[in-house]
Amino acid sequence: MGLLHASLLNVFSEVKLVALCEKSALMNRLFKRVFSTTDIRIVDDLEKLRGLGLDAVYVTTPISSHSQIVKDLYAEEITRNVFVEKTLALNYNQSKELCEIAKNVGGVTMVGYMKRFSVVFKKAKEMLRQGDLGEPRRFKAYAYSSDFLGLTEESKSSASRGGALSDLGCHVIDLALWMFGRLEVRDVLSFARNEAGSETSVSFMALNSSGLSGQFDISQSMPGYRMPEFGLSIECSKGKIEVNDDRLCLTLDNDSAQRKLYRHDLNDGVYFSIGDPEYFRENREFVDSLLGNRQCELNFDNASIVDYVIDQVRGRTGRQ
């Protein structure tokens, strides 16, 4: 993720990549070789970023290290502006602490929930806001991958990625918060762990302040999903929206015809793409927020609510 963000930032005319921090000796040597013809510094310790006059730092390390790294960035006065890959922290208490520190420091913050920058999910939110579908009545959200399908031995890989909730589920939790507001977990329907104690699949129910109910199904071992997929099915008083990474299907009660919109129908192009176009757009948003000295919508405060929901689920299963 660090290389992906660095590659994207490198094409913005307003941005100069100054340094990469990598503790792995092997990767450190590789980076020095790759960037040998540039003036980019390759360092192996966070303190070596002091004095470089950095406008911003991206934190793309494993989730368990986010909290300490961000606190060190602020404490050492390396930067006031921080982008953190999802999730913000390992739990909600850590996230709250980071929010308070960031508020006192006063910089720009952002967390990498890039699905908000998907043209199809953005279109679904726009349709809900326009009101043609009436009031939302219930929704279902899913996040599936086959990453750990069929594994029989103890796997530490899932745990290092935060488990199914932090690795996959966080994206659809954030999308639901974005569309429906704050959620409270009401019931955990199923919960499976691997031998390392990390959750691999979860199903739970949640409600927003208006009583809208939603069911979340999250799994890292779902057959048929070579690549991760995220989706929402939203039932409204006048119709239904079904949306995933690639397309949106709209059905109105007064019209039997189903309308389908795909990514290419919604002007999904960007002028430089690595991974999905969403990554370019989220980096553009962070850079523009820095230049405009304004907060991002996906700032630490808003992103911390995802950790709040995840903690609620884990608290009901005895794992926090």
pLDDT at position 156 over 60: no
- Residue 157's pLDDT is what? 57
Residues 190 and 209 in one domain: yes
Q: Which of 72, 95, 114 is the last residue of a domain?
A: 114
Question: Alpha-carbon Rg of the chain, whole angstroms?
Answer: 20
pLDDT value of position 319 = 61
pLDDT at 115 over 70: yes
> Does some domain include residue 289?
no
The CATH code of the domain that includes 147 is: 3.30.360.10
Quote the percentage of the chain above a pLDDT of 90: 80
- pLDDT tens digit sequence for 170-190: 999 999 999 999 999 999 999
Pairwise CA distance, residues 80 & 95, whole Å: 17
Q: How many domains does the chain have?
A: 2
Determine the structural domain holding residue 51 and report its residue range. 2-114
Mark whether 157 and 232 lie in a shared domain. yes
User: Tokens 């990498």 correspond to what residue?
Assistant: 112
pLDDT band at 288 (very low <50, low <70, confident <90, very high): very high
Given a cut of 70, whether residue 18 has pLDDT beyond it is yes
Q: Convert the pLDDT of each residue in 231-278 to its tens digit.
A: 999 999 999 999 999 999 999 988 877 899 999 999 999 999 888 999
Residues 99 and 126 in one domain: no
Instruction: State whether 171 and 311 are in the same domain.
Output: yes
Whether 25 maps to a domain, the answer reads yes
- 124 vs 38, more confident: 124
d(CA 186, CA 110): 29
Structure token pair of residue 127: 């349709």
The pLDDT, as a whole number, for residue 294 is: 96
